[in-house]
Amino acid sequence: MHRRISLAEYVKKRNGVPLGSPGSLQAMLHRSFGADSFHGFWHYWNPIWGYYLSRYVMRPLHKVLPLWIAVILTFLVSGALHDIAVSLVKWRPIFFLTPWFTLMGAMVVLSKAGNLTFGNAPWIARALINTACIWVGYYLTTLLQGAWR
C-alpha cells in the first residue's frame, strides 16, 4: 500500500514549485499547455482541484470500475460540480459543463489508449494542440446541445 501524499506534495509534484509560491500559476499553465499529450494536459491542469478529484472521486471509483470508466466519470463529476456552481451564480439551471467535461474525459481516455503524443513538437505547437482539443470538445458539446433542443 502506498502512502497518501499531502496536497502540498501533490502540487509541488505537478507544478514543480511549492503550493502558493510566486510563479505557481505560470508553472501550471506552462506545464499543462506544453504537455506532450491531452492526457498530460490534465495531469498538470489545476493541481488543487485534481488532488481532490483524484482522492475522493477517481480512486474510489477505480476500486470498483476499470480505470477508463473511472476517469470519464471523474470528468463527469467535475463538470457537474462546475455546472452547480455556475447555476448558483446565475440563479438558473445550467447543464453545459457536465457533458463538455465528460466528452473531454472520453478524449483523454481515447488519446491515452491510442498513445497520441506530440512531445517532439515545440512548446507552442503542443500548447496549440492541447487548446484545440479543449475547443473541439467545446464545439462538439455545443452541437450536441443544439441537437437536444
What range defines the domain where residue 78 resides?
7-148
Tens digits of residue pLDDT in 113-122 = 999 999 999 9
Give domain status of residue 2, yes or no.
Answer: no
pLDDT at 105 over 80: yes
Is the Cβ–Cβ distance between 28 and 14 less than 8 Å?
yes
pTM of the model: 0.93
Tally of domains within the chain? 1
pLDDT at 147 over 90: no
Give domain status of residue 22, yes or no.
Answer: yes
The helix-helix angle for 97-113 and 123-148 (nearest 10°) equals: 130
Give domain status of residue 127, yes or no.
Answer: yes
Give domain status of residue 1, yes or no.
Answer: no
Write down the residue that cell numbers 457537474 correspond to: 80
Residue % of the chain over a pLDDT of 90: 79
Give domain status of residue 117, yes or no.
Answer: yes
Is the Cβ–Cβ distance between 112 and 75 less than 8 Å?
no
Confidence tier at 31 by pLDDT (50, 70, 90): very high
pLDDT at 32 over 90: yes
Q: What is the pLDDT of residue 2?
A: 64
Give domain status of residue 108, yes or no.
Answer: yes
Q: What is the pLDDT of residue 19?
A: 85
Mean pLDDT rounded to a whole number for the chain: 94
Q: Which residues contact 111 (CB under 8 A, 6 or more apart)?
A: 37, 38, 39, 133
